[in-house]
Amino acid sequence: MSEIHFNRYLLILLSILPLSFLIGPSISLINILVFDIFIILFFFIKKDWSWTNKIIIKIFLLLYLYLIFNSFISIDPMMSFLRNFGFIRLIIFFVGINYFFYKYKYPNKIFTFWSFIILLIVIDIFIEIIFGSNILGYGSNEARVASFFDDELIVGGFVLSFFFITVGFYLNKHNHFDNFTKVIILFFLILFFMSIILTGERSNSIKAIMGLVIIIYSYFRFNFKSFSIIVIIFFTIMIIINNNNYIKDRFVTSIIHSGKTFSSSFHHGVPQDNPSGNLYAKLYRSGYEVFKNYPYFGVGNKNYRVEACTNKFYQRGIHIMINDYVCMTHPHQIYFELLAEHGILGTFFILVVFSFLLIRGFKVNIEEKNFIGIGCFCYLFTMFTPLIPSGSFFSDYNISLFFINLSIMYASSKKLNIFNK
């Protein structure tokens, strides 16, 4: 396989990466696996494994060894086996992205294509809001927007995962833009932000606000322009909330009610005894109870559901959960999930690894004024926001989006790219 053909294959696979997520989780997984196969074959042919000596690769391999260890100590090893052993695909993906950015100058084409895909999704969100269904006829049974994901309410988080990358891409090119072009970019920035709020996904809306503040401050520092943009965004939020009863209920009434019921729902006692309480507080409490019962290394990756859904007994013909457990796939909050499934030692190790990578990445990208990397950091940083609900961190969907941003944050930096000397 010549390098020209290798280059073309990688270009195609990376360009269609967002589309593969839209088609389905299995397609996105296949896309990444095919990308990995090409990378492995390429380095076998070149017989160049010098990148394995890089400190970041050694850190990833340590994390991988820990995850394998986590499988063996899980209460149901088979449940966590594929998730933990499959983590190697993301390390290979990280290497491949770094090599592609180091060797070729095609990332501009990829980011441009991604921009059109995300813009199409944003337009589709507005179409569904206005007409009740998207351009394919999909429409959520709830008032919330699903767009191309049909019945899965994840489109806001998906837009967010590629949003900051594309914003950073255009900010890197700001010196080539006239004032009119900059206004157009600002317009689309606000449009993208509005679409995330209109999906009704409160957690991702909060993350979008946090990320925008970081990237605006990084670009403008604290001056009149940054202040003006933040004010515009603030009034945009107020206008959307005030003119949409559903959004008003989601972001005002529901949040106020949740705040009032959170502490009472988190208190010790069987959560199901309080059906009107805060579900997330119950889930957090459930994750905390699992952690208390397995404090050192947890129940094992993907094993929260095993522990929470099998420990129950019958009382007068009614299913009663013990230990404040709530039967769901995960506790819906990253820290409670990590503590429940990895314990205090595993959680500490995981957080130290990713904190080191994120802090190092942000510091270097700020020094280089690389806004692609800063945009990636905005998404990665918000993944670790305390208290607000989140998806399962190590699920194929979430960890893949996480590693796309982590890989690009390092690959787009001259200093951090593992192939730069």
SS3 content of the chain, % helix, strand, coil (to 5): 75, 0, 25
**What is the average per-residue pLDDT within 119-143?**
79
Phi-psi label, residue 47: left if phi above 0, alpha if psi -120 to 50, beta otherwise? left
Contact 281, 272 (CB under 8 A): no
Q: Which residues contact 215 (CB under 8 A, 6 or more apart)?
A: 164, 167, 168, 171, 371, 374, 375, 378
Pick from 276, 393, 376: which is nearest to 332 by CA? 393
| Full-model pTM | 0.89
Residues present in the chain in total: 421
Top pLDDT among 47 and 62 is at 62
Other C-beta atoms lying within 10 Å of the C-beta of residue 142: 11
Query: Does residue 3 carry a pLDDT above 90?
Result: no
**375: Cα within 13 Å, side-chain hemisphere:** 21
Residue written as tokens 């959004």? 247
**pLDDT at residue 40, rounded to an integer:** 93
Q: What is the spatial distance between Cα 395 and Cα 406, in angstroms, rounded to a whole number?
A: 16
If pLDDT is split at 50, 70 and 90, which confidence band does 271 have? very low
The helix (run of H) or strand (run of E) holding residue 257 is helix 254-266
Q: Which residues contact 409 (CB under 8 A, 6 or more apart)?
A: 361, 365, 372, 373, 376, 377, 380, 416
| Burial letters 22-36, b for 16+ CB under 10 A, else e | beeeeebbebbeebb
Top pLDDT among 248 and 361 is at 361
Helix, strand, or coil (residue 385) = coil
139-190 pLDDT tens trace: 655 667 778 787 787 888 999 999 999 989 988 876 666 677 777 777 778 8
Mean pLDDT of the chain: 84
Query: Does residue 261 carry a pLDDT above 80?
Result: no
184-242 pLDDT tens trace: 777 778 888 888 888 888 888 889 888 888 887 787 766 666 667 677 777 777 777 66
**pLDDT at residue 239, rounded to an integer:** 74
The helix (run of H) or strand (run of E) holding residue 403 is helix 396-411
Query: Does residue 278 carry a pLDDT above 80?
Result: no
**pLDDT at residue 152, rounded to an integer:** 80
Q: What is the spatial distance between Cα 123 and Cα 126, in angstroms, rounded to a whole number?
A: 5
285-328 pLDDT tens trace: 889 989 999 999 999 999 998 888 876 544 444 444 555 788 88
Pick from 340, 321, 320, 318: which is nearest to 329 by CA? 340
84-121 pLDDT tens trace: 999 999 999 999 999 999 988 678 889 999 999 999 99
Q: Quick one: DSSP state of residue 318?
A: E
Where helices occur in 149-178 by DSSP H, the ranges are 155-172
334-348 pLDDT tens trace: 999 999 999 999 999
Contact 35, 93 (CB under 8 A): yes
**pLDDT at residue 129, rounded to an integer:** 81
